[in-house]
Amino acid sequence: MFTLAFQFPLIAVLAISGTSGQTVHTDSDRSGYVGTQVELRCHFANSKPPVKISQVTWQKSVNGTKQNVAIANPALGVSVLPAFKDRVRFKNPAVRQRAPSLEDTTIIFNNLKLSDEATYICEYTTFPAGNRESTVNLTIYARPMVQMSLSTPTIVAGSKDMKMTVATCVSANGKPPAVITWDTELDGEANTEEIRNTDGTITVRSDYIMTPSREAHEQRLTCISTYNNDQQTDNVILNVQYEPEVSIEGFDGNWYINRENVQLTCLADANPAVSSFQWRYLNGSMPNTAEQREDTLIFKGPVTYEMAGTYMCDATNSIGTGSASVEVIITESPSSTHAEQQRAGAAIGGAVVCGTVLLAAIILLVVFFHRQRRTFKGDYSTKKQVLANGFGKSSDLSSCPSLPQSLTYPEDLNYPEDEKKPELYGSPSFLGESVQEFHNNPPNRMKTYSPVEDSKRLRYNEQSYRDGYGSEMEVSVDMVPQKDGSVISKEEWYV
């Protein structure tokens, strides 16, 4: 290690600084976080007349006391004081290699410590101008560590007036101190304090105070530490223990004589879980038909009047015991509300059945009319009524009109296999006699059928028929008689 090569009186330095053009440039302020690095810039501006730089010295000033940090000398090289040897170096390689130029003597601080916070002086010793210097203020920040914990592993619920600290959030060793806030749906308040440490950091501690309750069990508490616009969070889940809260279900107000399969169930909300259930009958001895199975009281056989009375269930855990009771009333017959429910159910069931039947009927009708439309491709309102009075208007057969002895049909018509050729109504088959089948068809295009004379052929353009009232109607050979006494054209008859 070496010392400054030249020492000048302060008055002389100021005099030379005021009259010469040489200046030293540094940043006025620099900052960094603990564990990081920072550059402290220093540059010498050497205007004419040029001067010779004899030495550059970095110093740390604390409470008016100066301490050497690093020295650069063109002849002797670089020297770093032991307190900074592993953490401070000159940035410019020329300085480290004893170059004659020392205009840039910026230093780099590594692995910053809180104790590095101070005012640093960059001083140039020149000849013949004297000393020139400039200062930079270095501020060190410490990022705090956030830790959150429960006051105890388990919290026991107490009375509404008993408040306690359920969780604590600590932001430790921060510089400057962090700000702690809480994020939770629980009803409580925070108590926060700051603790100043010997190294200059500050620890912030915040306690969350509230009344423990069963509603707070498994609720989340989140601590938010805000530091220089950065946020750190930590959270805990509350574990609140409480005695059982009990209720009984199973009695619906409609226990009537001879009703089957009735029972009572004991429900308990507890932390920790219920260790035992106990059923009691407050009107004397428990009915013989009652049997306890853990949390359920089962009644064997049909309901009797002996089952009436008050039943109580006790549920116990490590915190305490909770109880609930129910009064069972036995009636002779189902209540009107129950009967109405049964009737309503039956009505709904009947409506469902009727709806199903109606839907099936509609489907059958649609299928039927669809098949009818395949056979008859027309409108029955266009039929010509031949037997206008119908067969229901006369009890004897004398009113039926005379029928032609033969009708002709085109031979080349293609009938569906499942449909018969139209019959001639008024023929023996219509009167209940045997039906004479059409046979021995001649090979010509038009076949002639006659119930009287099979070989005789009758050709005509139009034939007159009389209806039941004696009037005549003309029927073309292109018309086909129907069973209801009407005729339709062959174009409408055949699909």
* 408-453 residue pLDDT tens: 444 444 444 444 444 444 444 433 443 344 344 444 444 444 444 4
Whether 150 and 193 have beta carbons less than 8 Å apart is answered as: no
The dihedrals phi and psi of 149, each to the nearest 5 degrees, come to: -150, 155
R_g of the chain computed on alpha carbons: 58
Our CA angle for 63, 67, 73, nearest 5°, is 145
Percent of the chain with pLDDT over 70: 65
**pLDDT tens-place string over residues 174-226:** 999 999 999 999 999 999 999 999 988 999 999 999 999 999 999 999 999 99
Q: Which amino acid, one-letter code, is at 14? A: L
According to the model, what pLDDT value does residue 166 have?
A: 94
Q: Which amino acid, one-letter code, is at 275? A: S
Which residues make Cβ contacts (< 8 Å) with residue 320, sequence separation at least 6? 243, 244
Asked whether residue 239 carries a pLDDT value surpassing 90, the answer given is yes
Which residues make Cβ contacts (< 8 Å) with residue 365, sequence separation at least 6? none
Mean pLDDT lowest for which of 98-107, 132-141, 256-265, 345-354?
Answer: 345-354
- Cα–Cα distance for residue pair 338/235, rounded to 1 Å: 52
Q: pTM value?
A: 0.55
Q: Give the mean pLDDT of 8-33.
A: 61
Q: What is the CATH number of domain 10-141?
A: 2.60.40.10
Identify the three-state secondary structure at position 309.
Answer: strand
Fold entry, domain 244-331: Immunoglobulin-like (2.60.40)
Strand partners, 291: 298
According to the model, what pLDDT value does residue 21 have?
A: 67
According to the model, what pLDDT value does residue 483 have?
A: 61
Indicate the average pLDDT of the chain: 76
Our CA angle for 492, 493, 494, nearest 5°, is 100
Q: Which amino acid, one-letter code, is at 160? A: K
pLDDT tier for residue 5 given thresholds of 50, 70 and 90: very low
According to the model, what pLDDT value does residue 439 have?
A: 41
pLDDT tier for residue 274 given thresholds of 50, 70 and 90: very high
Whether 53 and 124 have beta carbons less than 8 Å apart is answered as: yes
Calculated CA dihedral for residues 297, 301, 304, 308, nearest 10 degrees: 0
The CATH class of 145-238 is mainly beta
According to the model, what pLDDT value does residue 357 have?
A: 79
Mean pLDDT lowest for which of 139-143, 149-153, 246-250, 452-456?
Answer: 452-456
Burial 99-126 (b: 16+ CB within 10 A, else e): eeebeebbbebeebeeebbbebbbbbbb
**pLDDT tens-place string over residues 141-183:** 999 999 999 988 889 998 777 889 999 999 999 999 999 999 9
- Cα–Cα distance for residue pair 283/120, rounded to 1 Å: 92
The better pLDDT of the pair 77, 80 is held by: 80
